[in-house]
Amino acid sequence: KQEVTQIPAALSVPEGENLVLNCSFTDSAIYNLQWFRQDPGKGLTSLLLIQSSQREQTSGRLNASLDKSSGRSTLYIAASQPGDSATYLCAVRHNTDKLIFGTGTRLQVFP
Partner 1 sequence: EAGVVQSPRYKIIEKKQPVAFWCNPISGHNTLYWYLQNLGQGPELLIRYENEEAVDDSQLPKDRFSAERLKGVDSTLKIQPAELGDSAVYLCASSREGGNGYTFGSGTRLTVV
Complex with partner 1: residue 43 or 60, whichever CB lies closer? 43
* Residue 36 to residue 90: CA distance in whole angstroms: 6
DSSP 69: T
104 makes contact with partner 1 (CB under 8 A): yes
Among 30, 34, 84, 107, binds partner 1 (CB under 8 A): 34
Do residues 88 and 21 touch, judged by C-beta distance below 8 A? yes
* Residue 104 to residue 85: CA distance in whole angstroms: 13
89 makes contact with partner 1 (CB under 8 A): yes
The residue among 56, 57, 52, 49 whose CA lies nearest residue 69 is 52
Q: Which stretch binds partner 1 (CB under 8 A): 11-19, 57-65, 75-83, 96-104?
A: 96-104
For partner 1, the binding residues (CB under 8 A) are 4, 32, 34, 36, 41-46, 49, 51, 89, 91, 93, 96-99, 101-104
